[in-house]
Amino acid sequence: MDSLAVAVLFGGRSSEHSISSVTAGGVLRAIDRERFRVIPIGITRAGAFVLEDDDPEKFALDPVHLPEIADNGTRILWPEAAGDRALRVRRPDGTVESLGEIDVVLPILHGTHGEDGTIQGFLDTLELPFAGGGVLDSALCMDKHFMKVVLEAAGVPVAPWTTVRAGEWASDADAVRARAAELPLPWFVKPARAGSSVGVSKVHTAAELDEALAVAFREDDKVLVEAGVSGREIELGVLEGCGDAPDRVSVPGEIVLTTREFYDFEGKYLGGDGVEVVCPAVVTDAELAALQDAALRAFRAVEGRGLARVDFFLTPDGPVVNELNTMPGFTPISMFPKCWIASGMTYPELISELIDVALAR
């Protein structure tokens, strides 16, 4: 049987460009080469689609020098007509070369212009099958404000919060401070549409709010001030069922903070001390049932497709959703694959599952 052509799409214009590239390294290293013919497509920070090297080591995680998609002068030419799946590349000398028809796109993009429904809408318009979230769930979960609104309406517990726009902060800062003061401290101040803990601050006193907002507004003009929730940090993976099969939830993993204030960018990706990742997490049968039920309800509330990592605070009163991530970190050491490996899948099987679900859909 001929191998299926998979375009692996990574990099992008967001602040999570390098993390997406690291994710691509893990996928390129593990994808089943007997089943799939891989076409690596990088997106530069300026937004150019370039044909990349099929070399996982080029995108390895190096805390000193995070990988970057350089503009090598090539340009990917996407299909032009309805139903056409032929992919081409224009070389730096102007010559155009066919890369053959593609069967499916695997967009492993994090952050804006990739995880927010924009690339999903682009691929939908081209009528190209793609793995992962769709337009709606990607857009909803990228915007933490609307994600909370939807989950709250569906009866899924979320942390109390208030949303602040840059214009409001500039025109009436006192009103914002007063609204934040209604929430119990500590507060977490975070950009509404950023990930990987970029721009996030933990606020211990009201006097720290102004600086935390300044940091968050550098990433987005909409920011959340969220009440801190006391509970264990638990994460679970959800996979959309293939065909008529039901959606599935993994065993839980846990983020254990020892000396670090919260699970920030350094702790996640740069080998910072003070955090441990435990998978599977030790929970009771009742806690496991509550977490998996809440994860499914959250996934369905946002009309989830493909996959999601659902992050919780496990409190004495039950699980509280922190966020849903529609394209979580996907390296072999990331929590989403760890949860599924602990649930009995291999890393290559997990990648194949995402592609199979996209093709079945």
Instruction: Map out the domains of the chain as residue ranges.
Output: 4-130, 140-157+231-360, 161-227
176 close to 164: Cβ distance less than 8 angstroms: yes
Question: Tell me, what's the pLDDT at 165?
Answer: 97
| pLDDT recorded at residue 260 | 47
Residues 6+ apart with CB under 8 A from 290: 318, 319
The mean predicted confidence, pLDDT, of the chain is 92
Residue 292 confidence (pLDDT): 98
- Identify the pLDDT of residue 270: 46
> Among residues of the chain, what percentage have pLDDT more than 90?
81
Residues of the chain with pLDDT under 70: 1, 195-196, 259-274
Question: How much is the pLDDT for 331?
Answer: 79
In the chain, alpha helices (H): 17-30, 118-125, 135-142, 144-153, 166-171, 173-181, 209-217, 265-269, 285-301, 335-342, 347-360
Buried b (16+ CB within 10 A) or exposed e, 162-196: bbbbeeebeeeeeebbeebeebeebbbbbbbbbbb
Q: Which fold has domain 140-157+231-360?
A: D-amino Acid Aminotransferase; Chain A, domain 1 (3.30.470)
- pLDDT (0 to 100) of residue 262: 54
pTM score:
0.90
Give pLDDT, residue 261.
Answer: 58
Residue 267: what pLDDT?
45
State which fold the 161-227 domain adopts: Dna Ligase; domain 1 (3.30.1490)
The angle that helices 347-360 and 17-30 make with each other, rounded to 10 degrees, is 100
Q: Which two tokens stand for residue 174?
A: 């006192």
CATH architecture of 4-130: 3-Layer(aba) Sandwich (3.40)
Q: Do domains 4-130 and 140-157+231-360 have the same CATH topology?
A: no
